[in-house]
Amino acid sequence: METILVRDYKKERDVYLDLFSIFYIEYLDRKCFFYTENEVYERRLTLAQLMKELPEPFIQISKTTILNIYMVKEINSSLLNGNLYVTLQNTEELLVSRYFSKALKEKIDQTFRNK
């Protein structure tokens, strides 16, 4: 799967979005919001349903967020509580909860070690 059907409300139509243009996905009010460099799209489904559809570079980093690891520029540790912060290619920062931080580190290490 290289694309996903999402809603573009600016154009008031459904479009196929290239998965690898997605920076991250956020679940809010029973909808998934897909963030690209310049746009936000949405689709009504759960994160669990979406995770079954997404390919390798996507990983859940919190209860409500899925990250495309190819968009990560930098990872920073929090000294206070074990959470991580990732800086994306577009300079946006996301919180990685400590529950998901080990899996993220392993996935990034595995993905980029095999390249």
The mean pLDDT of the chain is 90
For domain 3-113, the CATH superfamily is: LytTr DNA-binding domain (2.40.50.1020)
Has this prediction a pTM greater than 0.75? yes
CA atoms of 105 and 99, how far apart (whole Å): 12
Per-residue confidence (pLDDT) for residue 114, from 0 to 100: 65
CA atoms of 94 and 62, how far apart (whole Å): 10
Cβ partners under 8 Å of residue 2, min gap 6: 18, 19, 20
Residue 115 pLDDT greater than 60, yes or no:
no
Per-residue confidence (pLDDT) for residue 36, from 0 to 100: 96
Per-residue confidence (pLDDT) for residue 1, from 0 to 100: 64
Per-residue confidence (pLDDT) for residue 93, from 0 to 100: 95
Residue in this structure with the two tokens 């209860």, named with its chain if needed: 63
Condensed to tens digits (0 to 9), the pLDDT of residues 14-41 reads: 999 999 999 999 999 999 999 999 999 9
Condensed to tens digits (0 to 9), the pLDDT of residues 64-86 reads: 999 999 999 999 887 677 789 99
Per-residue confidence (pLDDT) for residue 83, from 0 to 100: 84
Output the CA torsion sign for 97, 100, 105, 111: negative
Distance of alpha carbon 71 from its chain centroid, rounded? 9
For 44-112, strand residue ranges (E) read: 58-62, 65-68, 72-77, 84-88, 93-96
Residue 52 pLDDT greater than 60, yes or no:
yes
